[in-house]
Amino acid sequence: MGCYAVNIDSQLTMADHVTAVCKVGYYQLRQLQGVVQSLTSEPALVNAFISNRLDYCNSLLCGIADTQLQRLQSVQNAASRLVTGTRRSEHITPVLRSLHWLPVRQRITFKVATIVHKCLNGRAPVYLSNDHQYAGQRRTSMRSSSAALLEVPRSRTAIGDRSFSMTGPRVTLPASVRDTNSSLRFRKLLKAFPCI
């Protein structure tokens, strides 16, 4: 029976995952740097390589340290600078907006909100759907029951606060976005919503 040394702290902070994503992201950007000027659809190509890496399992990154999120954001910033030819001295937010790319923190919120929407509309697995209940389903005469807000369970640990059953109900959206039944329309409204 082998013995493996496991660093529990790095697993809980997702530092190893973030390091791997950054390493592969920068490698792919270096590979694309020579050919991106000769391509006609470079935003789509870079988006396919980099954004897919940033989006993979990103709902697990909800609640991680800002330093880890900043490392992922720097990969996205480098990709947007490669596509647009923007210098490092220029501000990156208008560049991301022009490419219609959400920053990493908003991408995580977008993913969590999308999964919660699927849970509430019966399009997610049962094991996820059971974690989300409207606040008025267990108790009566609550203001939140008429507002269709989700019940946020209590947690006693910082790691418990990062679980899907805790982070999902905390994503607050206006009723016009929250109450749509169509997944496609929900995603379109959610992406346009300024607070995600």
pLDDT tens digits along 54-99: 999 898 898 899 999 999 999 999 999 998 889 999 999 999 999 9
- Please give the Cα distance from 30 to 80 (Å, whole number): 13
- Please give the Cα distance from 38 to 81 (Å, whole number): 16
> 36: exposed, middle or buried (C-beta count within 10 Å: 0-12, 13-18, 19+)?
middle
What's the token pair of residue 104?
Answer: 């990493």
What is the pTM for the complete model shown?
0.78
- Please give the Cα distance from 103 to 122 (Å, whole number): 29
pLDDT tens digits along 150-192: 777 778 887 778 888 788 788 877 777 878 888 888 888 888 8
Query: What are the C-alpha distances in Å from 146 to residues 116, 137, 175, 187?
Result: 19, 11, 11, 24
Strand partners, 134: 150
Contact 84, 95 (CB under 8 A): yes
